Amino acid sequence: MKFGESLQALRKEAKVTQEQLASFLGVSAQAVSKWENGSYPDGDLLPRIADYFGVSIDYLYGREERRITTEKQVVTGFGKIWDGVRSGNPEQEGWQKYVESVKRLLWCIQIGAWSNNESEFFEAPYSDEKISRTASSVTNNYSASFMNLTKNKEFFLFLPQPAGEEGFERWFRDTGKVRELLGFLSDRDNLGVVMYLYSFKNGEFASSETIARQTGIAKEKVEQALAYLCEVAECGTTPVKKVNIVDVNGKDNDAYGTFVSLASLIIGIFALADSYVHAPQGFNMQVNSRDKGWLDRSKLKECK
């Protein structure tokens, strides 16, 4: 493909007009038109054109294949997993491959922060919980990540440093509702209700009487827990859903189920707490370059 053909194809793909490209480069639209019809820009414009479209200069001249962005490679890779499912492989196999691919990708993110790894990939060294607990940690002045590398307790946490004057302090401000939730979960009976609800499949519901009978928790305590869970969120979406049903006696009654998209957040709370109280015994990949505190001491009074 010739330069003019490559430029025109890239411009149309990006849905950019000749005028828009010309304005970016500081030339006339007629100049861009001439390039697309056989002439060539000045040499100092070539890097800017290549960077604008995210390609190499060699690609503009048809001397190499187009380089695929990292994001595109990731999306394509996961797409191939589901192509396999659609072509006949079991869905369970597809999800298993998806999970393993995500875990490997997250590990790549961790080791990619290590400047001495020489771009070499090596498998995550998962540990046995009965022998030792291991993790990977990357902290700097712009973000923090933590990856639990204990088998069957793996999770990944990524926290970007909030922009502006408000740093991580924003997570500690107006925490009344958060502390209320943590206090609620610290009660064994309340936790029992939550655990029973989370044993439901999507679309399953049960009355407070059924929950009390199945868990052995007093009905009054169950109803209090359910009432809290249905109102804990400040917006309309709550972790527990309540629907009206007609029971076997023809009477109106309430039944409760979980909102699946929020369910993992409760599990995440316990995963984080578990790693905090059972701290890793070692770090298989640790990069720490943060040279300031997590919170600004002068702003602590603003946290409630």
Which domains are seen in the chain, by residue range?
Answer: 3-60 (1.10.260.40), 74-172+281-288 (no CATH), 187-265 (1.10.10.10)
| Interatomic CA distance for residues 15 and 87, integer angstroms | 34
pLDDT of residue 71: 77
Tens of pLDDT, residue by residue over 54-63, are 788 888 888 8
pLDDT of residue 304: 67
Tens of pLDDT, residue by residue over 159-191, are 999 877 778 988 888 788 899 999 999 999 999
pLDDT of residue 2: 86
Task: Tell which residue, 51, 44, 45, has the closest CA to residue 32.
Answer: 45
Q: Per-residue DSSP letters for the chain?
A: --HHHHHHHHHHHTT--HHHHHHHHTS-HHHHHHHHTT----GGGHHHHHHHHT--HHHHTTSSPPPPPHHHHHHHHHHHHHHHHHTTS-HHHHHHHHHHHHHHHHHHHHHTT-TTSTT-------B-TTT--EEEEEE-SSEEEEEE-BTT--EEEEEEPPSSS--GGGGGSS-HHHHHHHHHHTSHHHHHHHHHHTTSPTT--B-HHHHHHHHT--HHHHHHHHHHHHH-SSSS--SEEEEEEE-TTS-EEEEEEE-HHHHHHHHHHHHHHHHHHS--SEEEEEEE---S-SS-GGGGGG--
pLDDT of residue 73: 75
Q: Rounded to two decimals, what is the model's pTM?
A: 0.73
